[in-house]
Amino acid sequence: MRPATGSRAFAQPASTSSFNGLGATVRHPTGPHRHSAPARRAPALLFVHQGHRRGGNPLRPANEPGGRYVLGVDSGGSGLRVALAEAADPAGAVSTRSATPVRTSAAGIDPAHMLELLLPMARELLAGAGDPVPVALVVGAAGMATLGDGLRAELPAALARELGVGRLALAADGVTAYAGALGQRPGAVVAAGTGMIALGTDLGSWRRADGWGHLLGDCGGGAWIGQAGLAAAMRAFDGRRGGSAALLARAEERFGPAGELPGRIYPRADRPAALAAFAPDVAACAPSDPVAASILRDAARHIAESAAAVCPADGGEVALTGGLFNMGAPLLDPLHRELTAQLPKAELTPAAGDPLHGALVIAAALASDGLRLPRDGRLLFVP
């Protein structure tokens, strides 16, 4: 296990993925911009590197040698992001975003609505690069595994027809988070924001732990931490054992009088996000409040348990990605201790990039026939 490098190593831009609700979201209202997640380590892809990184320069025109392009998409609760990069340089992408999330119902993620949002954004990016035909496209989406049947049925033909793209994969956002963090190397990635999921692979198959949502799991994620903090605040309000006066004071600052807290939480459609909004208060109290510190120790234990459940038995790398890990030492210190104890053979590695970067990494692998991450009918569907 590599020594803990502190919170900075895990800081990265917020993505729109469902597990990532804690990060501050920077919106870019118009036009493409340089994708802001530089790779901290070159992904270990198998295709031949076809060009040099060129810092902030515009993308190479499509008619130049080596101008083979891939598209990546990240779809989640806070909107849709699309990125275009040279296949040889997924980290050197331009990207654009829409704050409109793709419509999702019990019937699934709406493929027509995704195309309606995605196609103009993709065409705008392609136009900026001289209208190349993209070699590969990867869509990562929150809910892809369970709500992606419509996407799997309709997107391959529609994207081939509309963009001429021949190679395609549809990935769960946990898979794009994995690829963004560790590329195609074996190991485990914990993606945490409002929720918490761990995904691991030995490159033979995927293992998943948690990510079951705020009522069935997501143990140690932002909603879990915030909920535990608010419950401790209400304990103090009632005079029950185990309450925290510090958390009660914070809860009243954020939500108003404690007696009216139910009315502030239950009517909201985004209850998990409302709970997660209190997680930073728990972290702020932890240095001086034993109840808050204990909540974060429990969260760290849960997160490490999920990582341990999915990490290959012979070790591999473990990376943490998502807004939760911006919380700093009150969470990361106990988490690094738990990871060292529960995963003695694993190497803790900074995440290279975010899920949008991961979509590009997978697309670049498809472009070069170098996909090593395991295909899976729900998690990583390659038609």
Closest approach, Cβ 5 to a second copy, in A, equals 26
Q: State which residue, 92 or 217, has the beta carbon closest to a second copy.
A: 217
Q: Closest by alpha carbon to 20, among 172, 222, 214?
A: 222
Please report whether residue 212 would count as binding a second copy according to CB under 8 A: yes
Strands (E) across 12-114 are located at 33-34, 69-76, 79-86, 94-98, 104-105, 108-109
> How far, rounded to the nearest angstrom, does the alpha carbon of residue 132 sit from its chain's CA centroid?
28
Stretch 294-333: interaction string toward a second copy, x if CB under 8 A: -----------xx-xxx-----------------------
Closest approach, Cβ 235 to a second copy, in A, equals 8
Q: Is 153 helix (H, G, I), strand (E, B) or coil?
A: helix
CB contact at 8 A, 176 and 18: no
Q: State which residue, 279 or 365, has the beta carbon closest to a second copy.
A: 279
Please report whether residue 250 would count as binding a second copy according to CB under 8 A: no
Q: Which of residues 363-382 bind a second copy (CB under 8 A)?
A: none
> How would you label 322-350 residue by residue, b for 16+ Cβ within 10 Å and e otherwise?
bbbbbbbbbbbbbbbebbbebbeebebbb
Please report whether residue 257 would count as binding a second copy according to CB under 8 A: no
Name the segment binding a second copy (CB under 8 A); options: 39-47, 169-177, 234-242, 313-321.
234-242
Say how far apart CA 305 and CA 111 lie, in whole Å: 35
Please report whether residue 172 would count as binding a second copy according to CB under 8 A: no
Q: State which residue, 184 or 244, has the beta carbon closest to a second copy.
A: 244
Q: Which of residues 35-74 bind a second copy (CB under 8 A)?
A: none
Say how far apart CA 348 and CA 189 lie, in whole Å: 10
The single residue among 227, 321, 326, 349 that binds a second copy, judged by CB under 8 A, is 227
Name the segment binding a second copy (CB under 8 A); options: 1-9, 162-170, 209-217, 362-370.
209-217
Stretch 262-301: interaction string toward a second copy, x if CB under 8 A: xx-xxx---x---x--------------------------
Pairing mode, strands 79-86 and 94-98:
antiparallel
Rounded to 10 degrees, what is the CA torsion of 286, 291, 292, 293?
50
Tokens read off for 13: 């831009």
CB contact at 8 A, 335 and 319: no
Give contact residues for a second copy (rule: CB under 8 A): 106, 146, 207-210, 212-217, 219, 227, 230-231, 234-235, 238-242, 259-263, 265-267, 271, 275, 305-306, 308-310
